Amino acid sequence: MTQSTRDQTRDATQSQFLAVVSKEEAEARFAAAFEPATVGVENVPLAMLLGRILAADVVAPIDLPPFDRAVVDGFAVSSVDVEDASESSPVSLRLGPETLSCGTSPSFEVAPGTATLIATGAPVPRGADAVVMVEWTDVDGDQAILIKRAVGPGAGLAFAGSDVARGETVMRTGTRITSREIGILAALGLASVAVFRRPRVGVISTGDELVAPGEKLAPALIYDSNSAILAATIAENGGDPVAFGVIRDDEPALTEALRRAVESCDMVILSGGTSKGSGDFSHRVVGQLGAPGIIVHGVALKPGKPLVLAVSMGKPIAVLPGFPTSAIFTFRTFLVPALRSMAGLPPERTRGVKATVPMKFPSEVGRTEFAMVSLANGPNGLVAIPGGKGSGAVSAFSQADGFMTIDALSGGIEAGETHSVTLLAPELDLPDLVVAGSHCVGLDALVTASGLNVRTLALGSLGGLSAFKRGEAELAPIHLMDPVSGLYNQHLVPEGAMLHRGWTRLQGVAFRPDDARFVGLDLASVQSLIARDKSLMMVNRNQGAGTRVLIDRLLSGQRPRGHANQPRSHNAVAAAVSQGRADWGVTIETVARAYGLGFIAIADEAYDFVVSKSPSQSAQRFLDALENRAFHMKLGALGFRR
């Protein structure tokens, strides 16, 4: 490489480095560059109003009800005629010449000493100021009625305008229209009303690795989830998402898509291509759109550091980080407030609760961190359990109840500290039961069979036991062998708890079925092969996992290639072997078969539940579901034995 080439490479690389600013500075810069305003008003028919935002007050053009009407079946009367009526001394009134029903206008007035038969909802005739319920009357020959109870003026009827008065403001600008508002509008005879136009928000995902949901997933590719979650969040906050699809890492193609999006939309959101990699050029494309251009490139956040905020043609543009949690957090933090203003909505209402953090949560000094947490009832109030899946986990956001904001100058949260948690939903919906420990597909089936709202935390057997001891979980599924006795789980039951039998799973060595080195071997031969063939790559399991005990016994102190690769689930092991990143690993038979792998049995293991000797009603219901015969059949279909 020549000196000139090296200089060009260095310049190109340096131009991609982030100029990181604080969250507060980023918000201030964006606010100075873009002042959100509503993007127009349109008249929308009644059938299409659900979820729309009123752009003007709605003033009632008529009274509701539009006339005095009966609210009971009975007789329209003048109250002075029946003021002395009683069971012992009923008053006889002559029947009028007509019967009034809904939709018919009275032709005759109620003269003194007379009564007119009237149905619920019918107009009250002239001369009447009350309606006597039919239950308080008796016939008095063919042409008269006996009134057995006195009624005062206004009894049994609703006056015109008593519900809504003509000229009354029934809805105000900014109201989000639900089924209730639509009912009122229809009753007032309004076929359409003025609402704010929904801001059109262009959504672009970038990356050669992305595939649209529904297409075949080839090796090294992932489905584009960002577009879907961003589109839904846009719609939830009053916007109209416009999909521009997945754009490959092709600068001219992205330039063209971005140009079309900016021309046709009120806001544009890209995800991916904000960092410092050689394929990350989204920020360069955005920077060429025109003044004022990029306002921020890099915010001291975790997750969300590579965020780009820009304004061009008077429209806000953001390039969000590619990882799902990073993307949605930065979008909600920086863009949703502007979007809601553009849609005519008030600022989003957030609710916070206080919760205790049961374990130390370290944080990087210098970056404001958003830590996703699940909430559960603990011995002394709410407990916030960090998710621990990272910004690349699609489920991290959907499975959390809220998030903790950790100040940039803080080094984290100490165990036992109480911290504020911002809820992701307006209301906190705590689970009926928290189950923390080793995960299993059989556990998923049991949760469904129980009919309870169960939160499962895949913390591993030892992690689940720790959560159980701290009072954060009522059940802890475990599968840990005592290396001395060879028995499962019994040696780990804490005081005051018991072991409830779950099911048996078969653990074994998984390998690709076309790998001739493993085909036809028994377990002893596999051990010999591992010791002999140094080219074999294994995939291990994490410390604290029940499977790790089996692996350590299998290896007898050896540390083959791949020993340090220690994922936390059976599926991760099977995926590593299936995709060729490892040649073998230990997993359960059910998972190995699901991935189309060969399998050599090691041993049966017991997957049991640690539970209090005095379980709660929810915990007992969960255990009862485990004993159900229909569930046993389900376990058998999954490849487990009860």
Per-position DSSP letters for 565-608, written without gaps between them: ---SSHHHHHHHHHTTS-SEEEEEHHHHHHTT-EEEEEEEEEEE
Superfamily of domain 69-158: Molybdopterin biosynthesis moea protein, domain 3. (2.170.190.11)
User: In terms of pLDDT, which residue wins out, 127 or 276?
Assistant: 127
Beta bridge partners of 195: 42, 54
Q: How confident is the model at residue 5 (pLDDT cuts 50, 70, 90)?
A: very low
Average pLDDT over residues 343-363: 88
Q: How confident is the model at residue 21 (pLDDT cuts 50, 70, 90)?
A: very high
Predicted pLDDT of residue 541:
94
Q: How confident is the model at residue 18 (pLDDT cuts 50, 70, 90)?
A: low
Thinking of the domain 431-642, which architecture would CATH place it in?
3-Layer(aba) Sandwich (3.40)
Domain 41-61+166-196 has CATH 3.40.50.2300: no
Nearby residues of 261 by Cβ (< 8 Å), 6 or more positions away: 202, 204, 242, 244, 268
- Tell whether omega for the bond before 303 is within 30 degrees of 0, i.e. cis: yes
Over residues 478-494, the pLDDT tens digits come to 999 888 888 999 999 99
Query: Of 366-380, 409-423, 568-582, which has the strongest mean pLDDT?
Result: 568-582
Average pLDDT over residues 336-359: 91
Q: How confident is the model at residue 389 (pLDDT cuts 50, 70, 90)?
A: low
CATH 3.40.190.290 residue window(s) in the chain:
431-642
For residue 215 the two structure tokens come to: 């297409």
Domain 17-36+199-343 has CATH 3.40.980.10: yes
- Give, rounded to a whole angstrom, the gap between the first and last alpha carbons of the chain: 66
CATH 2.170.190.11 residue window(s) in the chain:
69-158
Over residues 288-311, the pLDDT tens digits come to 888 899 999 999 988 888 899 999
Predicted pLDDT of residue 274:
53
CATH 3.90.105.10 residue window(s) in the chain:
41-61+166-196
Predicted pLDDT of residue 217:
87
Q: Is the pLDDT of residue 135 over 90?
A: yes
Q: How confident is the model at residue 393 (pLDDT cuts 50, 70, 90)?
A: low
Q: Is the pLDDT of residue 570 over 80?
A: yes
Q: What is the mean pLDDT of the chain?
A: 90
Predicted pLDDT of residue 478:
95
Predicted pLDDT of residue 255:
92
CATH 3.40.980.10 residue window(s) in the chain:
17-36+199-343
Could you tell me what percent of the chain has a pLDDT over 70? 94
For residue 445 the two structure tokens come to: 């089936």
Residue positions counted in the chain: 642
CA–CA gap between residue 591 and residue 598 (Å, rounded): 11
Q: Is the pLDDT of residue 48 over 90?
A: yes
Q: At what angle do helices 523-532 and 546-555 cross, to 10 degrees?
A: 70
Predicted pLDDT of residue 397:
67
Average pLDDT over residues 448-472: 90
What CATH number should be reported for the domain whose range is 352-423?
A: 2.40.340.10
Q: Is the pLDDT of residue 233 over 50?
A: yes
Over residues 608-632, the pLDDT tens digits come to 999 999 999 999 999 999 999 999 9
What is the SS3 assignment for 287? helix
Mean pLDDT is lowest, of 14-28, 148-162, 223-237, 583-597, for 14-28
Mean pLDDT is lowest, of 314-318, 437-441, 512-516, for 437-441
Q: Is the pLDDT of residue 585 over 80?
A: yes
Q: Is the pLDDT of residue 1 over 50?
A: no
Average pLDDT over residues 562-588: 95
Task: Provide the 10 A C-beta neighbour count for residue 141.
Answer: 10
The identity of residue 126, as a single letter, is R
Mean pLDDT is lowest, of 54-58, 145-149, 188-192, 454-458, for 454-458
Nearby residues of 547 by Cβ (< 8 Å), 6 or more positions away: 479, 507, 541, 570, 586, 587
Over residues 195-225, the pLDDT tens digits come to 999 999 999 999 888 988 999 988 888 889 9
Q: Is 243 exposed, middle or buried (0-12, 13-18, 19+ CB in 10 A)?
A: middle
Predicted pLDDT of residue 208:
87
